[in-house]
Amino acid sequence: MADMDPHFSAATRRTNLAALATDTIDLLVIGGGITGAGIARDAAMRGIRTALVDAGDFASGASSRSSRLIHGGLRYLEHGQLRLVFEASRERRVLLRIAPHLVRACPFTFPVHRGSRVKRWQISAAVWLYDLLALFRNVHAHRLLSRRGVLQREPLIRDHDLKGGAVYWDAQCDDARLTLANVRSAHQHGAWCASYVRVTALEKAGGRVRGAELEDVLAGTRFMVRSHVVVNATGPWSDRVRRLDDPAAKPLLRPTKGAHIAVPRQRVGNAGAVTLTSPIDGRVMFVLPWGETTIVGTTDTDYDGSPDDVRADGDDITYLLRSANAVFPNARLQRGDVIAAWAGLRPLLGDGPANASAVPREHKIVESASGLITIAGGKLTTYRSMAAQLVNLVARKLRRLDGRRLPARAATDTEPLPGGDVADLEALARELEKEGVPSGAADHLVHTYGGEATAVANLAADDPALAGPLIAGGPWLRAEVVHHARREMALTVGDVLVRRLHLFHAHPTRGVGVARTVAGLLSRELGWDDTAAALAAERYVAEVTRPAP
Ligand code: FAD
């Protein structure tokens, strides 16, 4: 089934939608966040005829708004969620192996100040247990730190009342690109994947869900797809989709909002990743390096609005600034320092305790009376094992339906994700440099595209117009935009600048200055005329310059 077609473009989308309008498939997965993408990959690898649709871009929901940690979850130890930490630690090992370009091991310094909610002995016990649950196979073992040890690692941390701390290992990842890599792998294994395709209704026959009505959001057209099994993997939107099946369905979720801000890294002066307890409410939060920026997050507050409208507001920004300033007092961060602020909804299960931070991060799979399967909850880190569990269920349903054999489990833990089959990223970067790629760009390319960096470099080598930087002095190449259109199904300026390049999160201009250039590069690939290109750029600028409410 795997045709390993590297192309994944607007043309692929057209072909896929045409196929879905005519063929009956085994499995329709609604939602192209990490959960749906992981399911589509696993199912396609098992030979199940699978389609994956998302109402927006892939990863445009929670999966591009996370803290980007592939982590055991140190703070879950507080709530006794040992099984979750054990599973997440195993998944961290798997992801470091199958996507080394997107998931990077990283030490976290955890300082403890006098009066911190979490005491020094608690940190010592937690980091020990953390490594134990990783079967002592974490990237490196933790170390307890004296006061001086903390300051050696992070000289700008508040030294007043500092008692010591610890350093432990976790991993940072590119959440949106990890999602995209799963979607592309699903495509390479034969799944029909399409972004900007919304499920507007479920089709039933004899009281059983047997398909869905799809709306091509870009063309404004609707058509039916017939599918033996339908899976609702829409994260924060899960209850909404469940109500398409049963208008009286009781909510499964109790979503909480999590906001992040990006500020210039030199203002904060953090040397690496720092875990801290907010002096405001004692919540565990993070100060994370991301290129030239530092990401501070996150908040965790109950949210009962529409998932479509979630945004970081003034209170979120104030909370994050105050928390960061308390631990990095020289930073004196103010509202004007915030490069970007964004928020997402954690699709948490509704049967948890009153305190939002203590709501379990476990997932649940439920099947409605008419056969709609919903998977809700979970974490970015554990998506792969969630997917395997769900596809086991789908395979059993398909066997009951037509007597087919149960497929063997998919090797999602050993087959590298696209770009992940590269032994030495640094060596590849040096090779690209020898071929003329500037050194900053070479490093950026290998850590973004892994083994596929050569495909981007080739585009630049073949066309001098694509070889230049997207932003003067930055590592991003114009060729990347073309790569996004041809191999990563980028269909809008935001698809490129927010989720594929992260310029929205990581550049002081939020990519506003290059929106027109990106639109121009996309128009050659997508057949836009000048008016359409100008409109696409304007739409992006309007979206990212809206003031916080
Ligand atoms: P989503 O990514 O939201 O995907 C659902 C998709 O469904 C969306 O793309 C949406 O467009 C689509 N959709 C909705 N309705 C329809 C429809 N009718 N038709 C078609 N498509 C539809 N986890 C970690 O492991 N590590 C972390 O560091 C971490 N940090 C987090 C920080 C924050 C602030 C948040 C919010 C979450 C964090 N998480 C973290 C959790 C993790 O991000 C989520 O559990 C995960 O991304 C959820 O993925 P999902 O695919 O279920 O949902």
* One-letter-per-residue 3-state SS of 19-30: HHHHCEEEEEEE
pLDDT (tens digit, 9 = 90+) per residue, 23-46?
Answer: 899 999 999 999 999 999 999 999
Q: What CA–CA distance (Å, rounded) separates 427 from 425? A: 5
pLDDT (tens digit, 9 = 90+) per residue, 386-400?
Answer: 999 999 999 999 999
What is the predicted pLDDT for the residue at 360? 55
35 lines ligand 1 (CB under 6 A): yes
Is residue 352 pLDDT above 60, yes or no?
A: no
pLDDT (tens digit, 9 = 90+) per residue, 494-525?
Answer: 999 999 999 999 898 999 999 999 999 999 99
Is residue 481 pLDDT above 50, yes or no?
A: yes
Q: pLDDT band at 2, cuts 50/70/90? A: very low
% of the chain beyond a pLDDT of 90:
83
For residue 377, the CA-to-ligand 1 centroid distance in Å is 9
Say how many Å lie between the first and final Cα of the chain, rounded: 48
Is residue 3 pLDDT above 50, yes or no?
A: no
Average pLDDT, the chain: 93
What is the predicted pLDDT for the residue at 356? 52
377 lines ligand 1 (CB under 6 A): no
The tally of CA atoms less than 13 A away on the side-chain side of residue 466 is: 18
Q: What CA–CA distance (Å, rounded) separates 501 from 474? A: 12
Q: pLDDT band at 4, cuts 50/70/90? A: low
For residue 124, the CA-to-ligand 1 centroid distance in Å is 32
495 lines ligand 1 (CB under 6 A): no
Task: Tokens 């798997």: give the residue.
Answer: 94
Asked whether 504 and 340 are in contact (CB, 8 A), the reply is yes
For residue 109, the CA-to-ligand 1 centroid distance in Å is 27
Asked whether 444 and 476 are in contact (CB, 8 A), the reply is yes
pLDDT (tens digit, 9 = 90+) per residue, 94-133?
Answer: 999 999 999 999 999 999 999 888 888 888 888 888 888 7
Please give the residue that has the higher pLDDT: either 408 or 3.
408
Task: Tokens 């990563």: give the residue.
Answer: 488
* One-letter-per-residue 3-state SS of 51-114: EEECCCCCCCCHHHCCCCEECCCHHHHHHCCHHHHHHHHHHHHHHHHHCCCCEEEEEEEEEEEC
For residue 36, the CA-to-ligand 1 centroid distance in Å is 9
What is the maximum alpha-carbon separation in the chain? Answer: 70
| Ligand 1, atom nearest to 54 Cα | 21
190 lines ligand 1 (CB under 6 A): no
What is the predicted pLDDT for the residue at 120? 83
Reported for 431-436, long-range contacts at CB under 8 A and 24+ positions apart, including other chains, are: 432/457, 435/461, 436/461
32 lines ligand 1 (CB under 6 A): yes
Pick the residue whose CA is nearest to atom 53 on ligand 1: 235
What is the predicted pLDDT for the residue at 130? 80
Of 25, 20, 32, 41, which is closest to residue 390 (Cα–Cα)?
41
Asked whether 372 and 203 are in contact (CB, 8 A), the reply is no
pLDDT (tens digit, 9 = 90+) per residue, 151-209?
Answer: 999 999 999 999 999 999 999 999 999 999 999 999 999 999 999 999 999 999 999 99
DSSP 207-223: TEEEEEEEEETTTTEEE
Span 130-157, mean pLDDT? Answer: 88
For residue 104, the CA-to-ligand 1 centroid distance in Å is 21
Q: pLDDT band at 274, cuts 50/70/90? A: very high
Out of 66, 175, 198, 489, give the residue to mutate to test ligand 1, the one with the largest number of ligand atoms within 8 Å of its CB.
66
What is the predicted pLDDT for the residue at 355? 54
DSSP 268-304: H--SSEEEEE-TTT--EEEEEEETTEEEEE---EE--
Is residue 19 pLDDT above 50, yes or no?
A: yes
Q: Between the ranges 81-85, 89-93, 394-398, where is the mean pLDDT highest?
A: 394-398
pLDDT (tens digit, 9 = 90+) per residue, 294-328?
Answer: 999 999 999 989 999 999 999 999 999 999 999 99
Contacts of 318 (CB under 8 A, 6+ apart): none
Span 449-476, mean pLDDT? Answer: 96
What is the predicted pLDDT for the residue at 361? 62
Pick the residue whose CA is nearest to atom 5 on ligand 1: 234
Asked whether 15 and 3 are in contact (CB, 8 A), the reply is no
Is residue 1 pLDDT above 50, yes or no?
A: no
72 lines ligand 1 (CB under 6 A): no
Dihedral through CA 296, CA 299, CA 300, CA 304, nearest 10? Answer: -130
Of 21, 22, 78, which is closest to residue 215 (Cα–Cα)?
21
pLDDT (tens digit, 9 = 90+) per residue, 532-541?
Answer: 999 999 999 9
DSSP 161-216: TEEEEEEEEEEEE-HHHHHHHHHHHHHHTT-EEESSEEEEEEEEETTEEEEEEEEE
Classify burial at 513, counting beta carbons within 10 Å of its beta carbon; exposed 0-12, middle 13-18, buried 19 or more. middle
Angle at 458 between CA 455 and CA 460, to 5 degrees: 115
DSSP β-ladder status, 192-194 and 50-53: parallel
For residue 217, the CA-to-ligand 1 centroid distance in Å is 20
For residue 176, the CA-to-ligand 1 centroid distance in Å is 10
Contacts of 494 (CB under 8 A, 6+ apart): 57, 504, 539, 540, 543, 544
Span 249-259, mean pLDDT? Answer: 94
Two structure tokens written together for 303: 């949210």
What is the predicted pLDDT for the residue at 125? 83
pLDDT (tens digit, 9 = 90+) per residue, 216-241?
Answer: 999 999 999 999 999 999 999 999 99
63 lines ligand 1 (CB under 6 A): yes
DSSP state of 49: -
